[in-house]
Amino acid sequence: MDSRLEIWGGIECTVNRVGDTFYDQLERNGHARRLGDLDLIAQLGIRTLRYPLLWERIAPNGIRKADWSWPDERLNRLRELGIEPIVGLMHHGSGPAYTSLLDDHLPHKLAEFADAVARRYPWLRFFTPVNEPLTTARFSALYGLWYPHERSDEAFLRALLNECAAVRLAMAAIRESIPEAKLVQTEDVGKTHSTDRMRYQANFDNARRWLTFDLLTGRIGENPLMLNYLGAHGFTAQLDDFCAAPCPPDLIGLNYYVTSERFLDERIERHPEAAHGGNAFERYADVAAVRACDDAPLGVAHCAAEVWQRYRLPLVITEVHLGCTPEEQLRWLSDIHEAARQVRGSGADLRAITAWSLFGSFDWNSLLTRDLGIYEAGAFDVRCDPPRPTALASAIRRLATNRGCDHPVLDSPGWWRRVLRFEANPHILGLPRGASVVRRRRPRPVAILGCPPALTSRVRAICHIRGITCVFARAAIWRKLAARVRPWAVLDFTRRGARDDVRAACVNASTRYASVADDADEKIHEVINAALDCLVHGEQLQLASS
């Protein structure tokens, strides 16, 4: 096993359907129109990229009317840049309008498209025919969020079996043209925790999370709870096909988010109404474990180790993304990278982590059910033209060149490790603590100069929420302060004429600097957050309040 943990990249590319409306992330983040994005990715040092050749976009009206101009251009450029694509054919959606997850002909239809891709691009090596089959089936056919908007066990299982059969048939078709083609199968296998009373439901959910890989590896017989579940809904015959002709992944792609681990609680009054749900027997809340449990989540290292112990197949963490402030995004990337190193150190064949959503994503806060235009930046911010590199871009570039993350904000833990994460009094599960990242340095502060007394408490509260240590001082004592506390950045509230000396001192000391306009008004909260964003990104900007 190579001693170096690789850094891969990925572009959020979901095409999901709500009713008769298709939501296309590539159109919304603009990557569909920007060939130059691929050069930006290459500049990060990324040499392996999860890349979309989506069925819905290339052949929306059938394979005979497929338009190959976009993938021709993009794949040729990737080859010129020396970037290896991992080609995705379906990313969450239900396929083009002429099929759906509940269409028993879906596997053959996707296989036809996969065959056309392989014949046209025989140099490709890595494929993900269907991204996250289990997650997509849950959202579409169990929870009713996406098309075909079903809410039943039978619909869920039919959708999942169709997706997994589509993976098998698609890979068989691809290997007719590319015998050495590799399957990179992604899935979110986050764990479910619960109160004692809800243990039966948590046990069921934890058995269900293995379904994608148990089906593809032909090991469903080793999961008796799911074997009975599938049999009770009339799908025994389909299981025989998977056991007779398994299609094990060449690489298991583990997708892990801060909300991947869940907590079930019958005390629904303790949790937001949006989290209230239940099963056929009782009502309960389903919330992110990180928001409710003092000793959860266990973390990606624990989940990856479980996957390795169960399947003994090479692993990649295929999505690393957090929709939050830039310093929290850096902390999340750093934590996942350190966890992956720990897993590798324990002997697991974990080969890479993937900086996902390089160009950000839209409306995932509503699980893509509403078009509100709420944007989360990634390594690049597409609200600028061309997309502007963020603090994540620098961190990814360092990791890709084996230099490690290095940023002052990493001396403080992410919000998922701080007390403010709890939405109610935390529940004690009695679990072993998740692996902690060692913090070897006392956090260096941001110096807040000349802050009006009326704003001090607000600025302090904002910094506290963001996990940014701060010290307040008058500009007149700046030099003594800088020598004593060694701030990594300065946020300057002093009047315009008094700023030049401080700015010059910051430039000379390579200290990040941002200022707030003299006439800061009722938008001061947004202004302060924008100033802190600039400091994290490393931008030397003069900030206004409007």
Per cent of the chain over pLDDT 90 is: 84
pLDDT digits (tens, 9 = 90+) for 181-202: 999 999 998 899 999 999 999 9
449 forms bridges with which residues in the sheet?
473, 492
Separation between Cα atoms, residue 74 and residue 492, nearest integer Å:
45
Residue 495: per-residue pLDDT: 78
Whether the per-residue pLDDT at 1 is higher than 60: the answer is no
Query: pLDDT over 70 for what percent of the chain?
Result: 95
Mean of per-residue pLDDT scores for the chain? 93
CA distance 131 to 89: 8
What was the pLDDT predicted at 442?
86
The residues pairing with 380 across neighbouring beta strands, listed in sequence order, are: 389
User: Residue 337 carries which side chain, given as an amino acid letter?
Assistant: H
Closest CA to 206 of 191, 217, 195: 191
Question: Given this model, what pLDDT does residue 2 score?
Answer: 55
Beta bridge partners of 513: 490
Q: Dihedral of CA 302/433/134/184: which sign?
A: negative
- Nearest in space to 415 (alpha carbons), one of 498, 493, 325: 325
Q: Which residue type sits at 86?
A: I
> pLDDT digit string (tens) for 433-487?
654 445 557 899 999 999 999 899 999 999 999 999 999 998 888 788 888 889 9
Nearest to 447 by CA among 531, 543, 337: 531
Residues 493-518 have pLDDT tens digits of: 987 766 788 888 888 888 999 988 76
By the 8 A CB rule, do 16 and 93 touch?
yes
Q: How confident is the model at residue 342 (pLDDT cuts 50, 70, 90)?
A: very high
Contact 56, 47 (CB under 8 A): no
Pairing of strands 251-255, 315-320: parallel
pTM of the model: 0.94
For residue 7, the tally of other CB atoms under 10 A from its CB is 25
**DSSP β-bridge partners for residue 296:** none
Residue 3's pLDDT is 64
CA trace torsion 477, 478, 481, 482 (10° rounding): -160
Angle, CA 434 vertex, CA 433 and CA 438 arms, to 5°: 105
The model's pLDDT over 265-300, given as tens digits with 9 standing for 90+, comes to 999 999 999 999 999 999 999 999 999 999 878 999
161-184 pLDDT per residue, tens: 999 999 999 999 999 999 999 999
Structural tokens at position 228: 């009975």
The dihedral through the CA atoms of 229, 231, 234, 236 has a sign that is positive
What would the pLDDT profile of 360-405 be if each residue is shown by its tens digit?
999 999 999 999 999 999 999 999 999 999 999 999 999 999 888 8
Beta bridge partners of 285: 265, 276
Dihedral, CA of residue 521, residue 527, residue 528 and residue 529, to nearest 10: 140
Assign 255 to helix, strand or coil: strand
Superfamily of domain 446-543: Response regulator (3.40.50.2300)
C-alpha span between 228 and 230 (Å, rounded): 5
- Measured from the Cβ of residue 377, the count of other Cβ atoms closer than 10 Å reads 25
- When pLDDT is averaged across residues 200-214 and rounded to a whole number, the result is 98
Task: Give residue limits of the domains in the chain.
Answer: 6-260+289-421, 446-543
Return the exposure string of 484-516: e unless at least 16 CB atoms fall within 10 Å of the residue's CB, then b: eeebbbbbbbbeeeebeebbeebeeeebbbbbb
Do residues 133 and 212 touch, judged by C-beta distance below 8 A? yes
Asked if residues 53 and 89 have their Cβ atoms less than 8 Å apart, the reply is yes
Question: Is the separation of the CB atoms in 111 and 170 below 8 Å?
Answer: yes
Q: Positive or negative CA dihedral for 83, 130, 135, 366?
A: positive
The answer to whether 417 touches 399, Cβ cutoff 8 Å, is no
pLDDT over threshold 60, residue 131? yes
Interatomic CA distance for residues 125 and 137, integer angstroms? 27
The pLDDT of residue 546: 30
For residue 213, pLDDT beyond 50: yes
CATH of domain 6-260+289-421: 3.20.20.80
Token pair listed for 354: 């993937």
